[in-house]
Structure 1
Amino acid sequence: MQSGEGKIAGAADVGGTNTRVGLVREDGKIIRIEKFPTPVQGKPGDIPLAIASTLLEIADGIPLAGLGVAAAGPINAREGYLDHPPNIPFNIVPITAPLKEAIRLPVTFRNDCRAAVLGEICAGGARGYDNVVYITISTGIGGGVFTNGRVITGRGGNAGEIGHFPVDTTYNLPCTCGLYGHWEGYASGRGIPIFFREWCTVHDLPCAEMTTPGILRLTAEDIRYSGFRDALAKVNGRGLSTVIAAYDPECIILDGTVIQSNPDLLDQALMCTDRYLDLPVCLLSPLNGDAPLIGAAMTVFHPEMI
């Protein structure tokens, strides 16, 4: 470690497809990173073992302050395990205990969006704000809430599941959780094609062809219907309105492949938000998708915030 760089922590961001493990400085700078397919073909314990072996390899003797792990929920932060994750084919995935045993360092474990809001507070677009909501709109929709010095975690670490806010009763589309009318079921990367197909059906308009049963091919040209853009904007506006009314943030940071690739969706949604409370600052994350990984490291450096 060079003089002036500060401490270094290990960080892991566990996804259903890939897992990233990195070394992150106290100022949020990622200095090393490795990505590998999340091992889902064997046993649940293969996941923490892969994280540990990768961390030890990339650290290569560098002293670490600890390891922070972020993962899409549901999680049990208190007991340290993933609890029936929808994108990983195991009921329970132990995280904290096997990692502590393997690396002999302190280990923190948080939902990826709860970690991400801390990443934005410490090293991203939310620096200087005391009340922040982080929203990711990608394959799913998730959120993290920071208020007055702490991340809101709830009983088991799952507070801020904004993707499951109800936003519609007209189309009553199913969500991945099995219930209906939730934001994620309409405006996520998984939900938009389904919403589009249903909207076209209701309005008796031609729709993109199905490539395989249950999967819709959706292109930018297919969303040429301004009416569908309006419908999607209204749904996103309802989601943002609920976030604003629930948490009264100074700043909302938006992230994820859907919103980062289509920034106009934010402008359209803001036109459809309620004005019961003043609009906060709303902006796209400047961290290039690394907010969960950086935030995982920040849970090591700033345990008082979690």
Structure 2
Amino acid sequence: MKSVIMGIDLGGTSIKLGLVNISGQIVQSLEWPTPKNKSYHEVIAAFERMSEQLLRESSYSWRDILGVGIGIPGFLDFSTGSVFEVVNLGWHQVPLKEELERIWDVPVLLENDANAAALGEMWTGAGKGASHIICLTIGTGIGGGVIINGDIYHGANGSAGEIGHITVKEQGGRPCNCGKKGCLETEASATAIVLKTLEQVKGASGLLKEEYAKQGNSITAKSVVELAKLGDPTCQTIIADAGTVLGKALANMCYLLNPELIVIGGGISYAGEILFKPLTESFRNFALPRVRENTSIVQAKLGNQAGIVGAASLIHHYDLLES
């Protein structure tokens, strides 16, 4: 009896691949760097080699695999199962589903990585038991997934949930990779937090100044989070400001979607109350009582496993619908 699902989390830096049981637990996993030139055919070759290594190191074979789910950091054409565009990999109109089903002879399902993470959180994470969810992932950019009545909402052409590109600063906003200015991710993503920290580090002292010098006059978002938790006032203010912006944007989204739960993940979420307190206060300030009283804001639970579990949840969710 087929008993496990293969989940693949494709990123610009690394590929994570794992076997997930039908209870949503990872039983085996591995991670490789994404091929340097990020070409479509080299990534497929990496998928093949990784899957064979994973099966060799486990007690499973392809006969045990229900299917393969893949989280893709880009836009998909759900009518054909092809990848429309992945900007950070340089892909455009590639038949990924068709080619992998031919190679592996098992069902393959694709989903935007943020949407897959949202399904994963609903399956075994912070959203377990909820049916109306907004899931936000704060990383290099800001990804979003919207679940309505237990299903991902894709919109007319698969572009729903692009929360990171809500305009939050109409005047003087930073340029965004999407071509606009003042998007949410230019104000509250890990990239934005690093830029703001670098702007303020010259006037800072103490922990931030020391870490900046230690890293060769540079800083990472992870370091900003860690320094904030250690009490550095500049880092605390920068993360709190990001939380305030996020809270307002989420309040505006809730007028349209009225979710029962907002799940927030990604590296910046590890700042804990330094992020969540101003975020929640801002949300409550901008959301009407009727909206905010039924909406909880929580930290994601799946962490670095979100991509693999979320990708596997595509097959699990589909299998339940077909049963």
Query: Does 2:281 correspond to 1:282?
Result: no
Shift of 1:42: 6.2
Partner residue in 1 for 2:265:
255
Q: How far apart are the structure 1 equivalents of 2:54 and 2:240? A: 47
CA distance change for structure 1 residues 58 and 167 in 2, over 3 Å: closer, same or farther? same
Shift of 1:216: 5.8
Deviations 1:19-42 (A, max 9, x none): 111111111000011111112426
Contact 1:100/1:106, CA 8 A, preserved across alignment = yes
Shift of 1:78: 3.0
Q: Show structure 2 runs of 5+ residues with no match.
A: none
CA distance change for structure 1 residues 137 and 229 in 2, over 3 Å: closer, same or farther? closer
Residue 252 of structure 2 aligns with an amino acid whose one-letter code is: T
Shift of 1:194: 2.8
Q: How far apart are the structure 1 equivalents of 2:170 and 2:82? A: 34
Shift of 1:53: 2.9
Shift of 1:292: 2.5
Aligned length: 295
What pairs with 1:290-301 in structure 2 (closer than 5 Å)? Answer: 290-301=305-316
Contact 1:253/1:285, CA 8 A, preserved across alignment = yes
CA distance change for structure 1 residues 268 and 80 in 2, over 3 Å: closer, same or farther? same
Query: Does 2:20 correspond to 1:24?
Result: yes
Identity %: 26
TM-score (norm 2): 0.81
Query: Does 2:10 correspond to 1:14?
Result: yes
Residue 127 of structure 2 aligns with an amino acid whose one-letter code is: A
Q: Show structure 1 runs of 5+ residues with no match.
A: none
CA distance change for structure 1 residues 50 and 162 in 2, over 3 Å: closer, same or farther? same
Query: Does 2:116 correspond to 1:115?
Result: yes
Q: Secondary structure at the match of 1:190?
A: helix
Partner residue in 2 for 1:239:
249
Contact 1:176/1:185, CA 8 A, preserved across alignment = no
Q: How far apart are the structure 2 equivalents of 1:94 and 1:13? A: 17
CA distance change for structure 1 residues 229 and 29 in 2, over 3 Å: closer, same or farther? closer
- RMSD over aligned CA atoms reads 2.8
Q: How far apart are the structure 2 equivalents of 1:193 and 1:42? A: 25
Which stretch shifts more, 290-299 or 64-73? Answer: 290-299
- Structure (1 or 2) with the greater helix fraction: 2
Which stretch shifts more, 81-90 or 147-156? Answer: 81-90
Shift of 1:252: 0.9
Contact 2:193/2:238, CA 8 A, preserved across alignment = no
Q: How far apart are the structure 1 equivalents of 2:321 and 2:36? A: 32
